[in-house]
Amino acid sequence: MKRPTNQDYRNGQSKDSCYNKKDSKHTDFTSQSGDDNMAILPTTGHILKIGDKVKMNIKEIEKGDMDGVEFTKTGENYWRYICAYPDEVYTITGIDLNYDECPYILSGFLGSNTWSSEELILVPDPTDNFEVIKNMTKEEMIAQLPDMLHKQFGLDLSKKDIQEWINAKP
């Protein structure tokens, strides 16, 4: 479910909004050309880019309007998923410039929605192998761990083996 643009907010539409506008401290910065579709979002102290690793900013999300997060037209309850997996790391897979308030597209379950920078927490670049693995999404673990473990330890594990292990109960 995509979220509305600034123009939608100015027209009084609030369905699937990314935050409660009257309570928000978000400032809309548009490009110098005045094009509303080229917003700069300094809300987290930095601009996010494709490939960045992020976690969900639960404290910020819960302050806002839950339309488009908990209550969606498709029936997806992103809020329940975010609360169930608070430490999950997502990769920014796209930026939708049609939505200057919420342009970021994420990997995994949350990928069918767009998110604002204030709803995301940038995960810093890893400093060791533990952080590399910790910051992987499930999909990345399944794809990358077999090769990593083979190169380091000579283990021959398939992607299917890794997937079954990751999804198994502890």
The helix or strand, by DSSP H or E, that contains position 142, with its residue range, turns out to be helix 138-153
Distance between CA atoms of residues 109 and 2, nearest Å: 14
Between 66 and 156, whose confidence is greater?
A: 156
H/E segment holding residue 59: helix 58-63
**What pTM was computed for the model?**
0.60
At 112-124, the pLDDT tens digits run 888 988 899 998 8
Residue 52 near residue 91 (C-beta atoms within 8 A): yes
Q: Pick 125 or 11 by higher pLDDT.
A: 125
Helix, strand, coil distribution of the chain in percent, nearest 5: 35, 15, 50
